[in-house]
């Protein structure tokens, strides 16, 4: 049974009528509104309880605006189908579109929300919360499979409070805010409202965790702040992973880390899956490259060109492996690819994808033993890569050299690429460039950090009996060569276990689920019942485990938006 600590926002004697279809309380008996640690809104009145979970839906940062009308109709129809199927699943979901009039609002002018709810007797409150959380998960996956380009996150505590505050305000109900706090200050005030954290069974953390170069947050022990968390570079240099559900604060932690690395003059490469690091890279020392865009900020790489100091056989095996994994090639298809690549590389030192394609089309003698079908299947995979967005990365412009990519502070925005396979492909090729370069230097290079967002895409879960994936092979080697890879991913069950285990610093933000808790309990060496409060961690908090320090500890990471930029 869940035992959720609750935060009571207020008791109200007035009528709440937010919208006839959502709430319709017309009498004046007291209504209690609470925000649960899982960021659910719970409204209790007259022994009836309604639980609401709200997802914010963000459109792609570019696009839509200039879409032709036809596309709009298609989107509309897709939405209709989506809602029909969600309702069929018994999920009570409505779509809200909010437009705020004022330019001074910190929220954008229009926001889309999906609101999932369940109601019943107040005795069922806990079950209703579990149900809404489950339905939020199902709604998110259905939405993202219909519209992979959208971003969605559950409204966090602050946003939820803001929404509530605004709704209440419109109804002239004032929330209990202390007099010295104006609504614009809500965020910092709210953190003090958090219910007591229940991660109490850990021993007092070792003072070593406050001595490192990188200031990332505050250490908490038994609900008290006990000092700063300062990570040592020597711990970071052997990989880090940051795990947690969407909205638990992983990217914020990644950004705080980036900011500290910049202040220590340590170069970083960010593989920015959702295009979230733009604000960090506003820092003038950053270059922000956009994969798939035309113009000066577009990224260009030559995926087939062997790195000068690298063994050709290793290069061919990596390139084939990457295509094989991303496109699940059959053995004959990957055999064909391997043969044409080695033919091509022996005749030119800068082969292009176009050349590869026309070489396959010419059915050279060396391909006699591969079947026509496998050649055609391979061509079907490869030709889209020399068209449209991908062509802008792989076959045009002046390719970025690895020296350029590793020298400075670089974020590569992958979110512009609509096709997720292409994103994975570009991310893996960038990782391959880092890998080849670092190996060729034999570990004699200064520390460099590569941050991989949504790492489960390039380091997916693998059953133990299956061979290591390409990504796993690369990052386990990189550990020896002065390269720190920071993996940011959602769940331990969708990410490579080897990659998580190989991270010297493990950061667990909010994560629930039986299997997840079981795995984390193994990784931290703590009993499962001591790990279960992880599922209630407020956003921005995480349990941190560093290999060189025996016990895990609780950290409240700094909020990147409150930190002064370094210059």
Ligand X SMILES: Nc1ncnc2c1ncn2[C@@H]1O[C@H](COP(=O)(O)OP(=O)(O)O)[C@@H](O)[C@H]1O
DSSP tag of 196: P
- The reply on whether position 540 binds ligand X by CB under 6 A is yes
Give the residue from 101, 82, 83 showing the smallest Cα distance to 92.
83
**Residue 252 is a binding residue for Mg ion (CB under 5 A):** no
Q: Is 53 in the site for ligand X (CB under 6 A)?
A: no
Tokens 């069929």 map to which residue? 88
**Window of 176-184, 208-216, 251-259, 355-363 that interacts with Mg ion by CB under 5 A:** 251-259
Q: Which is nearer to ligand X, 50 or 194 (CB)?
A: 194
Binding partner of residue 267 among Mg ion, ligand X, none, CB cut-off 5 to 8 Å per kind: none
Answer with the entry of Mg ion, ligand X, none that 153 interacts with (C-beta below 5 to 8 A by kind).
ligand X
Task: CB nearer to ligand X: give 247 or 351.
Answer: 247
Shortest-Cβ-distance residue relative to ligand X: 540
Class of residue 76 by CB neighbours under 10 A (exposed 0-12, middle 13-18, buried 19+): exposed
Site size toward Mg ion (CB under 5 A) is 1
Interface residue with ligand X among 44, 152, 156, 390 (CB under 6 A) is 156
User: In this structure, what DSSP letter does residue 90 have?
Assistant: T
Which is nearest to 55 in space by CA: 130, 134, 112, 131? 112
Which residue, 56 or 438, is less far from Mg ion as judged by CB?
56
- Figure out which of the listed residues 539, 543, 553, 554 binds ligand X, where binding follows CB under 6 A: 539
Site for ligand X in 94-123 (CB under 6 A): none
Q: Three-class SS string for 399-432? A: CCCHHHHHHCEEEEECCCCCCHHHHHHHHHHHHH
Answer yes or no whether residue 61 interacts with ligand X by CB under 6 A. no
Task: Enumerate the β-bridge partners of residue 544.
Answer: 507, 553
Phi, psi of 278, rounded to the nearest 5 degrees: -60, -40
Q: How near is the Cβ of 141 to ligand X at its closest, in Å? A: 15
Distance CA 49, CA 124 (A): 8
Whole-number Cα distances in Å, 352 to 326, 329, 344, 382: 19, 20, 9, 12
Minimum Å distance from CB 188 to ligand X? 9
Judged by CB under 5 A, does residue 251 bind Mg ion? yes
Q: What is the DSSP letter of 19?
A: B
Tell me whether residue 50 or residue 251 sits nearer to Mg ion (CB atom): 251
Distance of closest approach, residue 60 Cβ to ligand X, in angstroms: 17
Structure tokens at 86: 């969600």
Interacting residues with ligand X between 238 and 267 (CB under 6 A): 244, 246-252
Closer Cβ to ligand X, 49 or 455, answer by number: 455
> Going by DSSP bridges, is the β-strand pair 409-413/268-272 parallel, antiparallel, or unpaired?
parallel
Interacting residues with ligand X (CB under 6 A): 153, 156, 244, 246-252, 539-540, 557, 559
Interacting residues with Mg ion (CB under 5 A): 251
């Amino acid at each position: 049974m869940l035992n959720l600590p609750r935060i009571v926002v207020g008791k109200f004697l007035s009528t709440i009528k937010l919208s006839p279809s959502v709430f319709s309380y017309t009498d004046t008996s007291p209504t209690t509104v609470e925000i649960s640690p899982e960021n659910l809104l719970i409204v209790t009145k007259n022994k009836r309880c309604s639980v609401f979970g709200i997802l914010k839906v963000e459109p792609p940062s570019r696009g839509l605006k200039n879409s032709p009308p036809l596309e709009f109709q298609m989107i509309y129809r897709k939405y209709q189908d989506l809602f029909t199927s969600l309702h069929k699943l018994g999920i009570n979901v409505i779509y809200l579109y909010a437009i705020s009039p004022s330019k001074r609002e910190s929220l954008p002018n229009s926001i889309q929300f999906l609101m999932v709810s369940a109601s019943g007797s107040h005795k069922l409150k806990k079950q209703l919360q579990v149900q809404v959380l489950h339905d939020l998960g199902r709604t998110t996956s259905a939405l993202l499979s219909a519209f992979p380009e959208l971003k969605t996150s559950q409204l966090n505590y602050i946003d939820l409070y803001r929404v509530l505050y605004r709704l209440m305000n419109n109804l002239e109900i004032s929330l209990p805010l202390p007099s010295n706090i104006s609504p614009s200050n809500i965020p910092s005030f709210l953190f003090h409202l958090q219910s007591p954290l229940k991660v109490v069974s850990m021993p007092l953390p070792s003072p070593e965790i406050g001595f490192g170069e990188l200031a990332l947050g505050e250490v908490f022990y038994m609900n008290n702040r006990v000092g700063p968390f300062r990570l040592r570079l020597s711990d970071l240099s052997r990989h880090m992973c940051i795990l947690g559900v969407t909205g638990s604060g992983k990217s914020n932690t990644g950004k705080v880390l980036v900011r500290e690395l910049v202040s220590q003059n340590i170069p970083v490469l960010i593989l920015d899956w959702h295009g979230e690091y733009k604000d960090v890279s506003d820092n003038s020392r950053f270059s922000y490259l956009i994969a798939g865009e035309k113009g000066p900020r577009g990224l260009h790489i030559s995926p087939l060109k062997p790195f000068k100091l690298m063994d050709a056989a290793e290069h061919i095996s990596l390139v084939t492996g990457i295509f094989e994994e991303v496109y699940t090639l059959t053995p004959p298809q990957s055999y064909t690819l391997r043969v044409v690549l080695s033919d091509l590389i022996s005749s030119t030192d800068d082969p292009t994808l176009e050349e590869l394609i026309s070489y396959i089309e010419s059915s050279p003698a060396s391909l006699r033993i591969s079947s026509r079908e496998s050649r055609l299947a391979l061509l079907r995979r490869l030709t889209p890569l020399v068209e449209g967005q991908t062509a802008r990365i792989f076959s045009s412009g002046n390719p970025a050299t690895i020296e350029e990519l590793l020298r400075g502070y670089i974020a590569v925005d992958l979110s512009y690429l609509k096709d997720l396979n292409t994103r994975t492909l570009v991310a893996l090729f960038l990782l391959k460039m880092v890998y080849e370069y670092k190996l060729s230097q034999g570990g004699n290079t200064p520390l460099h950090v590569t941050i991989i967002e949504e790492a489960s895409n390039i380091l997916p879960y693998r059953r133990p009996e299956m061979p290591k994936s390409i990504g796993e092979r690369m990052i386990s080697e990189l550990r020896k060569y002065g390269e720190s890879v920071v993996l940011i991913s959602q769940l331990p069950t969708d990410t490579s276990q080897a990659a998580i285990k190989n991270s010297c610093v493990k950061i667990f933000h909010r994560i629930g689920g039986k299997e997840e808790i079981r795995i984390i309990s193994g990784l931290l060496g703590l009993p499962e019942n001591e790990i279960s409060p992880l599922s209630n961690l407020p956003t921005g908090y995480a349990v941190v485990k560093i290999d060189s320090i025996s016990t895990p500890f609780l950290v409240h990471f700094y909020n990147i938006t409150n930190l002064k930029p370094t210059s």
